[in-house]
């Protein structure tokens, strides 16, 4: 029965996002966001024994409901003063709507709820929050654009995303801060090109799916659990960290491709200032991935290998390995195909 209800809520979650994307008015978009929110909360609460999931779902509900109420207020103002439900006329309304959408997507400086909510979720729910839940707000953000406001948000998202992950011991929080940093890159891609941020988002979702499947398969939530992985299988540990480096955007992995496209676009548009800042701040995220992988390869906790159960034999693991292969060698394969053609 529980599985049936979860499937229904998942379908409603997808439906809510599709309503927002296909809506031709702000009120319709708001309705889609509400359907999306109310169907995600029961999915978050799937583990009744864990108090952290209840806390996370409550935090998520309060922040999203707050954002929704301000968004509705801005839409009503738009309809009341301008008798319009589609086009934004004044800057105040634009900033109000943009702020609520950035709060919904978890971009800085409205990111405060995101790492805390991620900490209490299971890996699959965390993956939905990092990927699917960002589609609707980002699509609405791409409709209205304020250059200076965007610049501040992009720089803050990259700064907080990179510095926030430096001192973490929880993998879920690290992934949350990584997501904030990637969100900054998506907004940067959105500034010049409508299609570019969608490509970035698709590749980011693929990489996140690949690494979250690994973490979920081995029930990894904290760094000290990864130290013990080497007693089981060093190859799996290597796969996890090649994935992390791919997510950080290190060449020659697939994660470098979306950043490469954005950098190329910014060079063509002659926006060197924001390009330099974003590359420097992304190097910090790459630093904490490298530091983590270096320490975990070099240091080992002693633990009897017979205490650890090998979960890497089921069908999910096979899917995970396919995604790992795409994540690690995708860019090289694409280059080879391009050379051959």
Residue ranges per structural domain of the chain: 1-302+311-340
Least confident window among 120-129, 210-219, 253-262 = 210-219
pLDDT for the residue 214: 86
Q: Determine the Cα–Cα distance for residues 270 and 70; give it in Å rounded to an integer.
A: 36
pLDDT for the residue 136: 95
Provide, rounded to the nearest whole percent, the portion of the chain with pLDDT above 90: 51
Per the DSSP assignment, residues forming a β-bridge with 5 are none
pLDDT for the residue 322: 84
Q: Which long-range contacts (CB under 8 A, 24 or more apart) does 161-164 make?
A: 161/108, 161/281, 161/285, 162/281, 162/282, 162/284, 162/285, 162/288, 163/284, 164/115
End-to-end, the C-alpha distance of the chain in Å comes to 52
Task: Say whether pLDDT at 117 is over 70.
Answer: yes
- The helix/strand/coil state of 155 is helix
Distances in Å between the alpha carbon of 257 and those of 35, 189, 196, 205, 286?
Answer: 34, 13, 11, 13, 15
Least confident window among 117-131, 147-161, 238-252, 266-280 = 238-252
How do residues 258-295 score in pLDDT, each as one tens digit? 999 999 999 999 999 999 999 999 999 888 888 877 77
pLDDT for the residue 292: 77
Per the DSSP assignment, residues forming a β-bridge with 222 are 170
Q: Determine the Cα–Cα distance for residues 30 and 21; give it in Å rounded to an integer.
A: 10
How do residues 238-249 score in pLDDT, each as one tens digit? 888 888 889 988
Distant-in-sequence, close-in-space partners of 56: CB < 8 Å, separation ≥ 6: 44, 116, 117, 118, 119, 120, 121
pLDDT for the residue 235: 77
Higher pLDDT, residue 47 or 213: 213
Task: Say whether pLDDT at 62 is over 70.
Answer: yes
DSSP secondary structure, 236-282, as one string: HHHHHHHHHHHHHT-TTSTTHHHHHHHHHHHHHTT-HHHHHHHHHHH
Band the pLDDT of 318: cuts 50, 70, 90.
confident
Provide, rounded to the nearest whole percent, the portion of the chain with pLDDT above 70: 89
Task: Say whether pLDDT at 206 is over 90.
Answer: yes
pLDDT for the residue 230: 55
Task: Say whether pLDDT at 69 is over 90.
Answer: yes
pLDDT for the residue 302: 54
């Amino acid at each position: 029965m529980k599985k049936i209800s979860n499937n229904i809520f998942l379908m409603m979650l997808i439906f809510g996002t599709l309503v927002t994307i296909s809506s031709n008015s702000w009120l319709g978009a708001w309705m889609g966001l509400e359907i999306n929110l109310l169907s995600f909360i029961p999915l978050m609460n799937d583990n009744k024994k864990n108090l952290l999931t209840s806390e996370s779902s409550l935090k998520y509900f309060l922040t999203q409901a707050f954002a929704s109420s301000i968004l509705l207020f801005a839409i009503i103002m738009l309809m009341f003063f301008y008798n319009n439900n589609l086009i934004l006329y004044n800057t105040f309304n634009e900033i109000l709507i943009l702020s609520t959408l950035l709060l919904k997507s978890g971009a800085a400086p409205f990111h405060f709820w995101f790492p805390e909510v991620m900490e209490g979720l299971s890996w699959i729910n965390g993956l939905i929050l990092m990927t699917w839940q960002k589609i609707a707000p980002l699509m609405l953000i791409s409709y209205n654009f304020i250059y200076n406001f965007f610049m501040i948000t992009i720089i803050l998202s990259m700064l907080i995303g990179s510095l926030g992950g430096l001192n973490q011991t929880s993998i879920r929080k690290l992934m949350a801060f990584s997501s904030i940093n990637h969100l900054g890159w998506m907004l940067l891609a959105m500034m010049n090109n409508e299609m570019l941020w969608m490509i970035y988002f698709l590749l980011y979702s693929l990489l996140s799916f690949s690494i979250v499947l690994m973490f979920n398969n081995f029930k990894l939530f904290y760094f000290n659990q990864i130290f013990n992985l080497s007693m089981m299988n060093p190859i799996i540990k290597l796969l996890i960290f090649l994935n992390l480096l791919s997510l950080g955007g290190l060449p020659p992995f697939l994660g470098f491709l979306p950043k490469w496209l954005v950098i190329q676009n910014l060079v063509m548009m002659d926006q060197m200032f924001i390009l330099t800042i974003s590359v420097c701040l992304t190097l910090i995220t790459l630093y904490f991935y490298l530091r983590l992988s270096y320490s975990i390869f070099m240091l080992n906790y002693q633990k009897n290998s017979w205490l650890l159960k090998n979960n890497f034999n089921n069908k999910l693991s096979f899917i995970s390995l396919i995604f790992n292969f795409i994540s690690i060698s995708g860019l090289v394969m694409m280059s080879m195909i391009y050379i051959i053609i």
